[in-house]
Amino acid sequence: MGGSSTRARAESMRGGQQDAHSAGQPLVQQHFMPQHLKRPFETLMIPIHPGGHRPLSRAKSSPATASLPTPDPSPKTISLPVSEQATKPRFTTGIMYDSVMLKHQCTCGDNSNHPEHAGRIQSIWSRLQERGLRNHCECMRGRKASLDELQSVHTETHVLLYGTNPLNRLKLDNRKLASVLAQRMFVMLPCGGLGVDSDTIWNELHSSNAARWAAGSVIDLAFKVATRELKNGFALVRPPGHHADPSTAMGFCFFNSVAIAAKQLQQRLNVRKILIVDWDVHHGNGTQRVFYRDPNVLYISLHRHDDGNFFPGSGAADEVGVGSGEGFNVNVAWTGGLEPPMGDVEYLAAFRTLVMPIAHEFSPDVVLVSAGFDAAEGHPAPLGGYKVTAKCFGHMTRHLMSLAGGRVVLALEGGHDLTSICDASEACVSALLGNEMDPLSEETLRQRPNPNAVHSLETCIQVQSKLLVRKECCYSMGCHDFWKRKHQIEQPATQS
């Protein structure tokens, strides 16, 4: 795809920020289904439209353009051992996981065609057991989010489209449901399965339950941490959520679990200030849209942007929020492609000069992390291409634990190289448990960020320094000028 069309899509995405809860364009009407495709799906009541689906906004680096080989295409279902289901949680790190989320799989049965597959969370779950970390955590199954909870972020139509299946639809209002389902459209994927777009698969029997379970698990974990029932936590969930906006499923995401958890904390626990840090290599366009006008939720994203040419195209440094939310949306938008790729030095510089100073100034009551690990080394260029190590993810987690009295909840988003995401998850859970961390190498601490990173950080600082909320924070922090942070960018970590 050309750069001009991508910029147009990015502009369209930015325009969408103006109303976080506005419904999307009417869904395409049901189309005629060829007779040879009809029979296998008619019992599922799914309107099929092979090849003619209106594509969602995609930059040229959509995850659909690459696939990764995976192990066993039919992972075995596993459940929590009885010993890991204590009735009264210990005050420690909580982990949410359940095998119901493994069932969200393409009907083609071949995981090698789909980077977002069940083996992701199954592999992480096994790794945490192998390393003995699960024995020190409170392991819980989570639950399915209610339709009302989902509607705290998503439209009713969106919730009915993606939050119901043939079994639980029997309990709902048939007239309302019929009108919504008539609008549904799916695409036939090259693998032979179904999708809501070219890379987001749909399993009519299991996808809705898995997506609702992911959201409910993040909600439950956030509540247990916020109320001090647990110290902190890691939600090992799928499908991911940060691309889902109020009325659109995209980028493997159906329900924005982290955004829903934040809304529930606001509405049911009256949590005053929430920080959301999103270090997935892709911008969380859905999360940004939901809170674009909200001064009580600070959203900070570090992501590959490349001037809008990397999926989803949103997340420029000048997208800072609107109205009372202006200044509470911070995008560290990396540019320059992979020449060279961003790594530990660049991410630690971002934390040192932007993320932590602004987060401390905001002084949140709870920290939620959209913990995508696709910036980790091991991901090919279309899926990330960066070189952040597992050790760095652990250190970023430890930095965030200095906020909100340690009330930190990580929720898995993207990340598709199994070794990388297992390593990163292990490092983050170990950090949450307070274990001694492997120190960063002297080379990493002494190295300066690459020129593209310096430019990206300076751009973000320049944008943020013009906002009144940032100028006031500088005074309260004892800084005469927020611009002083510019000279820190190129300094090694040992000198800061």
Q: Looking at the annotation, which residues are catalytic? A: 243
Contact status, residue 370 vs residue 275, Cβ threshold 8 Å = no
Q: What is the C-alpha to C-alpha distance for residues 416 and 307, in angstroms, rounded to an integer?
A: 24
Return all residues near 108 (Cβ < 8 A) that are at least 6 apart: 189, 191, 192, 193
Torsions phi, psi of 324, nearest 5?
-70, -15
Name the 3-class secondary structure at 198: coil
Token duo for residue 80: 């929590």
Return all residues near 453 (Cβ < 8 A) that are at least 6 apart: 334, 336, 342, 345, 346, 349, 350
Q: What 8-state DSSP symbol labels residue 97?
A: -
Q: Please state whether the peptide bond connecting residue 239 to the residue before it is cis, i.e. omega within 30 degrees of 0.
A: yes
* Neighbour count for residue 373 (Cβ, 10 Å): 30
Contact status, residue 416 vs residue 457, Cβ threshold 8 Å = no
Torsions phi, psi of 97, nearest 5?
-160, 140
* Neighbour count for residue 36 (Cβ, 10 Å): 7
Q: What is the C-alpha to C-alpha distance for residues 116 and 379, in angstroms, rounded to an integer?
A: 13
Q: What is the C-alpha to C-alpha distance for residues 265 and 272, in angstroms, rounded to an integer?
A: 9
